[in-house]
Amino acid sequence: MRSRHRSRQSKTFIARRRARLTSCVIGIAGMLCISILVVWGVVSTNLFTITNVQIAGVENQEVQILHDKVTEILSGSYIGVFPRNNSLIYPRSEIRSVIWNIYREVESIDLRRAGFHTLIVTVHEKIPSAVVCATLPDFNNNELSLDDSDACYFADSSGILFKKAPSFSGDVYNRYYVPDLESSDGSTDSLTKLVGTRATSTEEFSVIQQVYETIQRNNITIDAMLMKNDREYEIYIRNPDMSSSTAIVYFNTISPAMEQISNLILFWNHILSAARAKKEYMKFDYIDVRYSPNIYHRFAR
């Protein structure tokens, strides 16, 4: 008798528990459906629709290209339900990614809304750290010519070429010649074929930038640097003889580069002081600091 009674109670308890569980599932599903409908209603209303796209921070010829591309990205909907041009859920990552791919001069991109209907895309362009020329330097009577802009590009702080460089005279930017540069994507467009290419590795570029700037800080006029194979370099500096004649400094990054440059500066200052004491001008043909502390040099005739 007792066992049959307990069995009936157990079955009743299980049935009630299943009923409560079913009710909870139905309730949760109902709440989820209501939430989806509410969200859909909010994002579908014109109150949050982006109707105006503004592009800032780029050259005029690029504005319309980027505007059209962003407008294209905002068209359509997610899974055929939620509009992509809603200011609450518009595709931020996709916009940034597409702009990065078509505009190599970008350092960063800011997206912000002005109200609910306007999206402002502000592009911050890269700041040139150097000019890199995919050619050999051109000398004329021992003077370096800087009129070779057809093969020159701006490079950022990582050594990546991002834009064609116009012709410059003087030392507006650190200037490097890298005759062995090749396009990273096989492009044959003469204006952009090297855009996106690295002049050298980021670590190596950082070292030679430090070399370049250290020489400048020590009152030695430097016109350019040639990157050769096997981490060998030539630096083109001005002779201190009141002319624009060029002396070549040989160094490498196989041995500590800054040690070589420190020895160069000590040597330069010593020779210059001695020449001034004798009221003489000095004019070098070359200075070789690759075997520091020994320095080899030859005066120009």
- pLDDT tens digits for 67-114? 999 999 999 888 877 789 988 889 999 999 999 888 888 999 999 999
Is residue 244 very low, low, confident or very high in pLDDT (cuts 50, 70, 90)?
confident
Q: Which CATH architecture has domain 47-125?
A: Roll (3.10)
Residue with the larger pLDDT of the pair 30 and 120: 120
Using alpha carbons, list the distances in angstroms from residue 127 to 155, 158, 159. Answer: 8, 11, 12
Instruction: Tell me whether residue 265 is exposed, middle or buried, using C-beta atoms within 10 angstroms of its C-beta: 0 to 12, 13 to 18, 19 or more.
Output: middle
Tokens of 227: 């990157």
Mean pLDDT along residues 201-206: 96
Lowest mean pLDDT across 63-72, 90-99, 194-203, 242-251: 242-251
Q: Enumerate the CATH 3.40.50.11690 domain ranges in the chain, comma separated.
A: 130-299
Residue with the larger pLDDT of the pair 160 and 2: 160
Q: Enumerate the CATH 3.10.20 domain ranges in the chain, comma separated.
A: 47-125
What is the pLDDT, as a whole number, of residue 1?
47
Is residue 275 very low, low, confident or very high in pLDDT (cuts 50, 70, 90)?
confident
What type of residue sits at position 166?
Answer: P
What is the pLDDT, as a whole number, of residue 184?
56
Contact 239, 283 (CB under 8 A): yes
- The 10s digit of each residue's pLDDT in 161-176 is 998 888 765 568 999 9
Of 52-66, 131-145, 196-210, highest mean pLDDT: 196-210
Answer yes or no: is pLDDT of 284 > 90.
yes
Q: How many CB atoms lie within 10 A of CB 175?
A: 24
The set of residues, in sequence order, having a beta carbon less than 8 Å from that of 187 and lying 6+ positions away, is 193, 194, 195
What is the pLDDT, as a whole number, of residue 191?
55
CATH class of the structural domain 130-299? alpha beta
Distance CA(60)–CA(111), nearest Å, equals 19
Q: What percent of the chain has pLDDT over 70?
A: 80
Q: For 145, which DSSP code? A: E
What is the pLDDT, as a whole number, of residue 78?
82
How are beta strands 106-114 and 118-125 bridged, if at all? Answer: antiparallel
Mean pLDDT along residues 274-292: 90
Beta strands in the chain, from DSSP E residues, in sequence order: 52-56, 77-78, 82-83, 106-114, 118-125, 130-133, 138-140, 143-145, 152-155, 161-164, 174-177, 222-227, 232-238, 246-252, 284-288, 296-299
Lowest mean pLDDT across 3-12, 48-57, 111-120: 3-12
What is the pLDDT, as a whole number, of residue 41?
57
What is the pLDDT, as a whole number, of residue 188?
44
- Rounded to 5°, angle at Cα 191 from 187 and 195: 60
Answer yes or no: is pLDDT of 146 > 60.
yes
What is the pLDDT, as a whole number, of residue 12?
72
Residue with the larger pLDDT of the pair 222 and 145: 222
Residue with the larger pLDDT of the pair 87 and 132: 132
